[in-house]
Amino acid sequence: MNKKNFKTLNEQEKTSILISTGVINFKNRLTLVLEGLSGNAFAKKVGMSEAVIRDYLSGKTYPSLNRLAIIAHKCEVPIEWLATGKGECRLLSESQNRGSIHIPFHNLNKTSNSLADIQSIPFETSLLKHQDCHNDDLTAVWAKGDSMEPTIANHDILIINKAYCKPIDGYLYAVQYDDQISIKRIQNQGSNLALLCDNSKYPTIMVNKNSPLDFEIIGHVVYLLKKLN
């Protein structure tokens, strides 16, 4: 996509592209390559202004290709990893580059059946490379009921990235409302959020953005582990 076409996209489309490509988490990877340096010291290291680095670290702006190349070269990291999180990096531990992690289940104390005995699930980190997730941001939830069938069935397991809570139309999110955790598609409708069910038997739930009482977006669904019959 060229620069002109990108400018014509609305903010939701832009955010969707940044998430799907992994670019949106550039600030997290940049924080990692600082390796403890202050913003001023790092700016001197890469030959840029502290203000520019500060904007990158806050997620306010993203580097141009030539600046991205300079940072990657000065910090001795792969440019593809720095831009998108894809591939391996010497700054990541072995457990982050490969192998598996144990992802805890969310709010086990509210699970009222035998599944509550399972406290975490092992998960291959290689499956998460393109999602650019940080291990500490991940949680797992059990799907309950049939409101999201045929996409999600009862007792399927979903891996949630808690770092992504900004609602984007059509994406799947784990949400908590009325003391329940559910998986829903979200659609922005003016001052309201519509929580959509894939199963047409269930009505859409409307939540007021300005007074979201007893409502919380836990995070974005990044993986679905289906129960085989």
Higher-scoring residue by pLDDT: 11, 215: 215
CA 83: distance to chain centroid?
16
Residue carrying structure tokens 């014509």: 8
Give the pLDDT confidence score for residue 107 in this predicted structure. 67
Judged by DSSP in three states, 177 sits in strand
> For all residues of the chain together, what is the average pLDDT?
81
96-109 pLDDT tens trace = 555 667 888 886 44
Q: What tokens does 49 get?
A: 């202004």
Give the pLDDT confidence score for residue 201 in this predicted structure. 94
**Cβ atoms of 62 and 52 closer than 8 Å:** no
Between CA 68 and CA 156 the distance in angstroms is 40
